[in-house]
Amino acid sequence: MPTKVENWKDEVYGNEIREHLMEFAEQGWDAIPEDEHDAWFERFKWWGLYHQRSGQESYFMMRIGTPNGVIKPGQLEVIGEVAKEYATGPVDNPEFGEAYCDWTTRQSIQLHWIKLEDIPEIFEKLEAVGLGTQQACGDSWRNIVGCPVAGKDKHEHVDAWPVAEDLHETFKGNDDYSNLPRKWKVAIAGCDEGCGQGDINDLAFEPAEKDGELGFNVRIGGGLSRKEPRLARDIDVWVPPEQAADVAHGMSSLFRDYGDREDRFNARIKFLMDEWGPEKMRSVLQEEYVDFELPTAGEDMRDQYSYNTGSQDGHNDHVGIHEQNDGNYYIGLNVLVGRMGADDVLELAELADEYGSGEVRLTQRQNIIVTDVPEENLDAFTSEPLLENYSPDPSPFMRGSIACTGTEYCSLSIVETKNRQVRYARWLKDNVELPEDHKDFHIHLSGCTASCAQPQIADVSLRGMKTRKDGEPVEALDIGLGGGLGDDPRFADWVEMRVPADEVPGAIKNLVNNFEDAREGGETFRDFVADRDEETLAEMVEPEETDYHDPYMHNTKMTWYPYAEDDDMQSSPAPTDGSGEPLPSDD
């Protein structure tokens, strides 16, 4: 029997949702019939709007999908203006102020505290410069990810940007693919560094050569969500760039038709891959969904991958100053936990215009890249005061930090994340020395098993949990070690569970010290973990209270907003009207 969500989607879904959304926005929050809230909020996701968590009713998270993370000249300024004007909530965030943008691990943008009534104006402003929220969430083609410097990278073999753009144009708003059983995540990259992160996507195009021609090998069924992480599997298909859209059509149609619509927990294509295996996946694709002979896989470049490999050699991310293929430079700026104040966004837009082409790009490590900077502008640009906070040469602990949204706004999360990870990074920077040969050390904090911070592919993986301390429930984290990508990708081993959140920095300090003492020769952290059993590793993680102070140990999910002076759920102003004034309660 189809799920309720499927029934709602059968009634209204895809492009047609917009008309209803605009009507509701014009009439105000109260216009959404109370007994249709769940159905409409599920549908609004398709237009990039996610109803915020309990206690924040009537406010939405808005996600803007920027394919491949490319923000064209003129767009960043509008993003900053929209954030400043519309993404201000009832209470400021103590670390980030009143309005900010989140750069996500899928090269998208998230704004919070968006009011329904403001959506038409926001859409108008975004669409005027070619930005949009369509299919940023919901059961459809999501934002396409890839190498963030596609088209500019010296390590590139195939320029994947026009292919990504073509896929975006072909599959966004296309009614044939607008109602899939679940989300559909696609990655495409043409460089030899592996920064497309194809291994954790539903459909991945990776650079490969076949008979002297450059194109892509195809992998299917990766993903990290729940406690079921999967690496995408090779289906032995190579495709030239001009036929990538045909294979993408075939695979997303196959998913549309064969994906499980009766159990949303089993709907992602990784579960169909579990059931079928790569050979059947290939044969069904060939026989039912493409009208040309699929070539077998070409020779890939995975043995050259350096991105997130823990090798401490080559590109592990895009932070820093790097020469482009045209002689200009791109400068990757570190954005701690991906959150940037709206005023800073506006200032960066000006700087990108002044020193570069005005284009910026988002990475899958929640950072931002300013592209097309001529060599003669480098000194002046990197001397700008803004770059003191968004450094191209940050501490490894600042550089390696990723955090999801957490209980600040998200229904799924178990713990507070972004502000906590900011505090962790600062404390680690001041108190922990990595071995000199370790410049990259990734710590990812995800509030729950949905894994939006991609914890399984970090050196140190943190996942939201609870425990009791002195009998009282407190926020805690499971600690995993040794995850990463590359030719031989590996998910973290979860070695120490339910560590009180205020003991995690001490645990990481002890771990790093124990690693330095016990490592053999030039052993990298990732190899060190791979070569030891879980018990040995668990002994090296010694949770300990330190002078680190964690203000979020209580159950932040029980608050209406964790940083409000009066955070009691009953004190929430929500739901509010279009001007932010509380609406009368039915009680």
104-12-46 Cα angle (round to 5): 5
Write down the residue that tokens 């790569």 correspond to: 278
Measured from the CB atom, is 112 or 442 closer to other proteins? 112
Stretch that binds other proteins, among 29-37, 91-99, 303-311, 544-552 (CB under 8 A): 29-37
Of 556, 508, 285, 529, nearest in space to 397 by CA? 508
Q: From edge to edge, which strands make up the β-sheet containing 100-103?
A: 49-51, 59-65, 108-115, 100-103, 339-341
Residue closer to other proteins, measured from CB, 429 or 498:
498
> Contacts with other proteins in 522-561 (CB under 8 A)?
555, 557-558
Among 498, 516, 544, 551, binds other proteins (CB under 8 A): 498
| 448 interacts with other proteins by CB under 8 A | yes
Q: Examine residue 470 and tell whether it contacts other proteins (CB under 8 A).
A: no
Is the Cβ–Cβ distance between 77 and 101 less than 8 Å?
no
Is residue 36 near other proteins by the rule CB under 8 A?
yes
Q: Are 115 and 153 in contact (CB under 8 A)?
A: no
Which residues within the stretch 398-427 sit at the binding site for other proteins (CB under 8 A)?
407, 411-415
- Residue closest to 81 by CA, chosen among 113, 111, 46, 43: 111
CB of 86 to other proteins, least distance (A): 23
Residue number, 54 or 283, with CB nearest to other proteins:
54
Nearer to other proteins, 7 or 571 (CB): 7
Q: How far is the CB of 587 from other proteins (least distance, A)?
A: 10
Per-residue buried b or exposed e for 295-305, using 16+ beta carbons within 10 Å of the residue's own CB: bebbebbbebb
Region near other proteins per CB under 8 A, out of 148-156, 380-388, 448-456, 577-585:
448-456
Query: Taking contact as CB under 8 A, which single stretch among the options 20-28, 33-41, 191-199, 360-368 is the one that binds other proteins?
Result: 33-41
Strands 368-373, 360-362: pairing kind: antiparallel
Tell me the residue ranges of DSSP E strands in 336-471: 339-341, 360-362, 368-373, 401-403, 443-446, 460-469
Token digits of residue 9: 């989607």
* Selected binder of other proteins within 157, 439, 466, 554 (CB under 8 A): 466
Q: Interface with other proteins by CB under 8 A: which range of 1-9, 192-200, 250-258, 517-525?
A: 1-9
- 431 vs 449, which CB is nearer to other proteins? 449
- The pair of structure tokens assigned to 360 is 């910026």
Please state the closest distance from residue 39 (CB atom) to other proteins, in A.
Answer: 8
Q: Which residues pair with 467 in a beta bridge?
A: 474
Residues that bind other proteins (CB under 8 A): 1, 4-5, 34-38, 42, 53-54, 225-227, 264-265, 407, 411-415, 448-450, 464-468, 473, 476, 497-498, 555, 557-558
